[in-house]
Structure 1
Amino acid sequence: MIEPHTCLTDNYKEDHFNLNSNMIATSLIPFVMQNPDINIKMIREIIKGKHHYTPSYKKAQKGRRKAFQMVYGDFESSFKALPRYMAALQLFNPDTIIEWEHHSTTMQGEQIFKFLFWAFKQSIDGFKSCRPVISIDGTHLYGLYDMKLLIAVGIDANGNIFPLAYALVARESFESWSWFLKLLWTHVVCERQGIGLISDRHQGILQCIQSYDWLSPPNTYHRFCVRHLKANFNKKFVNSELEKLMWLAATEHQKKKFVQRMQQIKILSPAAYEWLNEFPLEKWTMYKDGGRRWGAITTNVSESYNGLLKKARGLPVTAMVRMTFKTLVDRFVERNNLAIALLQSNMPWPVAIDKKFNDYYQKAQRHTDMMTYNTGDGVFEILTFAHDGKGGNVHKVTAEGKKCSCGKWRNYHMPCSHAIKFCGLRGIEPKSYVSKFYSTKYYKQTYTETFTPVGDEMYWPPTPFNLIANTEYLRTCGVQVRSRLKNDMDIAPTRMARKCSVCKETGHTKARCPTRF
């Protein structure tokens, strides 16, 4: 007999509450729906709070697995459910683009999965009001099948991510990227010209750029992600000073400053200078970009969206597509409400653009002196310089071509401080030179379209075909890495500043010193 106030043992608590994994799973359903990546420690805390009982690690793990299956299904059955769900998306959201690649089996009506592409009409219509630049990237999926999710995103008037299209593929290759880009250009880009395409230097993408005319000017202007190029540069030339100079060279807007940085690189390392010169300057420098990037020098926008989808990337395929749909709908609702508020406040541009223009405007007030060289045909060459002790540079502004020797007007499609000064002296409204793709009007148009929920499964159309997973995609045994592997892009500046005790150079320690090999 247990005496009053005697502490109950863990075994007694477990027997008393008799919480098996099924009961734990039922309790976890709302938490798993909110966060598919919920960890075991949190699960044990949840069960302890709800039932005053702490399950073992093994029991909590088993409960999580069962809750996951209750909410999202298992990976095998999810492939079978995918065609019907995609058909429902098309039914309730007409003109949604869905393209399949699959192989027939010996079983009648049965197909083995290969590729899946999808893009919503709401995104396709919204892209018409976005800046003409697209960032593409591929990311790993977790779970039973080792597959990749390819994504394409645009940039809205406020500089935010605008999801355009998705694809499920086995791996990143010339075949998969070629298939994805062809469908992206056919269904999303359509007749739009002069698109700036930003990507890393994956061989599959580079082969596509070289192989297809529609990925060449004037249709497309391909640009490298400078962050990825810098990572490749760091692997070959491990030196913090070179790393800094390479980044500065890539991001300079003026020719004279770019040349200065390159000369500094050449003095430090002629090999590094030659390596950088192997790449066309328009591919990796702002100075030669011609405004095709619209200020975006990396694929950070697509990688940021990958981060938002991290929870979805561990789900079975149908559940993952469901979550991409939900994420997109939430984004449209939030940004549409913001655009309405901006219009009601008579804001000509979203907040980020308004701030940038005002910064340029304030800077323009410190510029002085103007000389006009040519007033014919609306072309003005203006010399301006700052007198606040920080500048003293002379810049030439050509209004008709919307160019300034500082390079910012053309690259950002917004008048720089020198152009604003010219406008003030000539009685021209500088706001008239700000691109329409920055306007609140276009921001609202981007998110105007609405979505229709797919509703209950009983209202869905029948499955168009029986789909099964390709066993070649099964993940090999081992621990699944659920975070991106760190590389040179993640090296902190303090680490890059370390000095080697052998050769006394910065950027590495004696363990990685090239003189030791």
Structure 2
Amino acid sequence: MVRADASVCIKVFINATAAHFGFRLTYRRVWLAKQKAVAHIYGDWDESYNELPRWVLGVQLTMPGTVAVLRTRPVQVWGQVDESQAYFHRLFWTFPLCIEAFRHCKLLVSIDGSHLYGKYGRTLLVAIAQDRNSNILPVAFDLVEGENADSWSFFLSDLRQHLTPQPGLLVISDMHNGIKAALEAPDGGWLPPAAYRAFWIRHVAANFALTFKGKDARRLLVNAVYAKTEVEFDYWFDIMRSEDPAMCEWANRIEYSLWTQHRDDDRRFGHMTTNISECVYSILKGVRNLPVCSLVKATYGKLAELFVRKGREAEAQLGTGQQFSQHLVKCIEANLKTARCFTVTLYDRDNSEFTVAETTPTGMFSLGTYRVSLASQTCDCGYFQALHFPCPHPLACCAYSRLTWLPYVHQVYRLSSVFSVYRMGFTPPIPEGFWPPYDGPTVIPDPNKRRARVGRPRSTRIHTTMDETDPNRPKRCGLCRQPGHTRQDCPQLGGPSHTGPHD
């Protein structure tokens, strides 16, 4: 089961052993057994650290241009530095195909950290890009001791140097103080106008919900965040002020350009929320349960599979003669259906400015009037400039003037640009037996990062409203995980003993 999926939870193993052998093992025994199974399949947890230097040499030989920055710390024995050994500290890596692919992605990057499981506590920092078809693409990785100002500074420094030298880049992250310190460093290269910062809305809303309870308060903030015009933002903000003035005071402590869509200078492309979970579970699923060298190797294999799959999809769409990505085509088709309920009046022919009156499908009621400028690609509703493709109002103007809407779509959505991201493929890795020899000190894990030896590691996650369970979800038994009963009246209690004969 571990070989098939290293991320299988312990309760699945408990139920499987109970069904096969007729008795239930304790959580601790199953957890320890899983760790031994992982070590047996993917290599020893301690020896895996010493394989990293050889992997760096091997992958650089396999794919020239690979960036791998390994940092170690000296080992001291009785006050003297042991030259034969070194503690693993950090590892930053990215591949040349990721560097090339990012040049064809949207000019934004999301950064976040994900805790690793296993014998030693570590954190995997990930930089995630978004292609022109709104697909996520992890482009850089970093193994660090944890999320702090030094580790984020190390990651962002290498990210800026090797992967994202483009000016005007938007960095989307959570509100971690370590990220804030690293981005605001004078010599880091992340200050405006070289780069800009924005927050994931889900994290802002989660922090907001810690102070103001109730889903209605959080909904008001989210509606204000997603507002694409100042008028719409003020509307929701006034409702928040009427409900509780302290809500507005809390929101005003954060600069508007960091968390509101109408003040982001159209840099987000509508990308408002986090996607680290989607990245971890769809692309990096299971790697957090592996020893460090197997984890690093898995990123190479997972990205190779991703490039092949997405490259075939883009090539197939190009073969059909499509000009734009499938995501954009669906949005335009939905907008075209809505555009039939508009009345267009030409305001300024020379500057292609119009007024669009929106009505109900029956034409009996007016829903508002909007000014549209095709020349400057703006609309009063805010969608045109925020998403960089026509909303229903410009589409109605194009139909009125017998113009095609194609010139008013940003180049970022063209299918040829999407194909440019995945047009190259990863090289098959060179077998480990042909990797160059490594003659440096033996890399060993830091003993201070060793998890508790007895039992499973305790979770240090701080639960927020993001972790709330669905109230409509049926409750399950704590023993067999089946709905309809509780632990006290579980049928398993009447069966074989919960402990084995040798407990």
Q: TM-score range by the shorter chain?
A: 0.7 to 0.9
Cα deviation, residue 32, structure 1: 2.6
1:184 maps to which of 159, 164, 175: 159
One-letter amino acid of the structure 1 residue matched with residue 356 of structure 2: T
Distance (whole Å) between structure 2 residues aligned to residue 42 and residue 474 of structure 1:
26
- Structure 2: distance between partners of 1:482 and 1:366: 54
Gaps of 5+ in 1: 1-30, 496-517
Distance 1:89 1:450 in 2: 15
Q: TM-score normalized by structure 1? A: 0.82
Label 1:176 to 1:64 Cα distance change in 2 as closer, same or farther (>3 A). Answer: closer
What is the rounded CA distance, in whole Å, between the counterparts of 2:153 and 2:230 in structure 1?
Answer: 35
Matched, 1:279 2:254: yes
Report if the CA contact (8 A) 2:105-2:132 is conserved. Answer: yes
1:382 to 350, 354, 357: 354
Q: In the alignment, what sits opposite 2:173? A: 199
Among residues 451, 470, 473, which one is paired with 2:446 in the alignment? 470
Letter in 1 for 2:45: F
Is residue 249 from structure 1 mapped to residue 224 from structure 2 by the alignment? yes
**DSSP-derived class of the 1:443 partner:** helix
Distance 1:155 1:464 in 2: 39
Contact 2:374 2:408 in 1 (8 A): no
Partner residue of 1:25?
none
CA gap 1:475/1:189 in 2 versus in 1, 3 angstroms: same
* Aligned residue in 1 for 2:88: 113
List gaps (5 residues or longer) in structure 2. Answer: 76-80, 473-503
Q: Structure 1 residues 186, 382: closer, same or farther in 2, change over 3 A?
A: same
Q: Which residue of 2 is the match for residue 501 of structure 1? A: none
Q: Deviations over 1:10-36 (max 9, x none)?
A: xxxxxxxxxxxxxxxxxxxxx433211
Equivalent in the alignment of 2:44: 74
Any residues of structure 2 matched to 1:7-156 within 5 Å, and which?
31-38=1-8, 57=25, 64-105=34-75, 106-156=81-131
- Alpha-carbon offset, residue 44 of structure 1: 7.9
Quote the offset at 1:157 in angstroms.
Answer: 1.7
Secondary structure (helix, strand or coil) at the match of 1:75 reads coil
Task: Give the match's secondary structure for 2:184.
Answer: helix
Cα pair 1:83 1:464 within 8 Å, conserved: no
Partner deviation per Cα, 1:74-130 (whole Å, 9 max, x = no partner): 211110111111221111011011112222342335322111100111111011111
For residues 175 and 407 of structure 1, the distance between their equivalents in structure 2, rounded to whole angstroms, comes to 39
Structure 1 distance, partners of 2:61, 2:98, is 17
Amino acid of the residue matched to residue 465 of structure 2? D
Match of 1:499 in 2: none
- 1:310 Cα shift? 4.3
> How big is the shift at 1:481?
5.4
**Within the alignment, does 1:491 sit opposite 2:478 as a pair?**
no
Q: Spell out the pairing of 1:321-470 with structure 2 (5 A cutoff).
A: 321-373=296-348, 375-376=349-350, 379-388=351-360, 392-463=367-438, 465=440, 466-470=442-446
The secondary structure found in structure 1 opposite 2:140 is strand
The alignment partner of 1:215 has SS state of coil
Cα distance change of structure 1 residues 40 and 306 upon mapping to structure 2, 3 Å threshold: closer
Letter in 1 for 2:221: M
TM-score normalised by the chain length of structure 2: 0.85
Letter in 2 for 1:100: L
Residues 217, 423 of structure 1: CA spacing in aligned structure 2 closer, same or farther, 3 A cutoff?
Answer: farther
Cα deviation, residue 490, structure 1: 3.3
More divergent stretch after superposition (206-215 vs 290-299):
206-215
Whether the 8 Å CA contact 1:40–1:60 is kept in 2: the answer is: yes
* Partner residue, 1:208: 182
Q: Distance in 2 between matches of 1:445 and 1:483?
A: 41
Does structure 2 retain, via aligned residues, the 8 Å contact 1:158–1:353? yes
Determine helix, strand or coil for the equivalent of 2:89.
strand
- Please point out which of 276, 282, 293 is paired with 1:302: 276
Q: Is the contact between residue 84 and residue 464 of structure 1 (CA under 8 Å) also seen in structure 2?
A: no
Q: CA separation in 2, counterparts of 1:489 and 1:42?
A: 24
Shift of 1:331: 0.8
Matched, 1:219 2:194: yes
Tell me the CA shift for residue 454 of structure 1: 2.1
Aligned to 1:15: none
Letter aligned with residue 472 of structure 1: N
> Contact 2:45–2:291 at 8 Å: present in 1 too?
yes
For residue 294 of structure 2, what is the aligned residue in structure 1? 319
Per-residue deviation, 1:324: 1.7
Tell me the amino acid that sits aligned with residue 170 of structure 2: G
What SS is found at the alignment partner of 1:372?
A: strand
Q: Which residue identity lines up with residue 296 of structure 1 in the other structure?
A: H
How many aligned residue pairs are there?
A: 458
1:480 aligns with 2:457: yes
Cα displacement string for residues 128-187 of structure 1 (whole angstroms, at most 9, x for unaligned residues): 111111111011111111111100001112211111100001011111111111111111
Structure 1 residues 79 and 386: CA distance shift in structure 2, 3 A: same
Task: State the Cα deviation string for residues 28-56 of structure 1 (Å, max 9, x = none).
Answer: xxx4332113456766888899xx86797
CA distance in 2, matches of 1:44, 1:276: 46
2:486 matched residue in structure 1: none
Two-structure CA RMSD over aligned residues (Å): 2.5
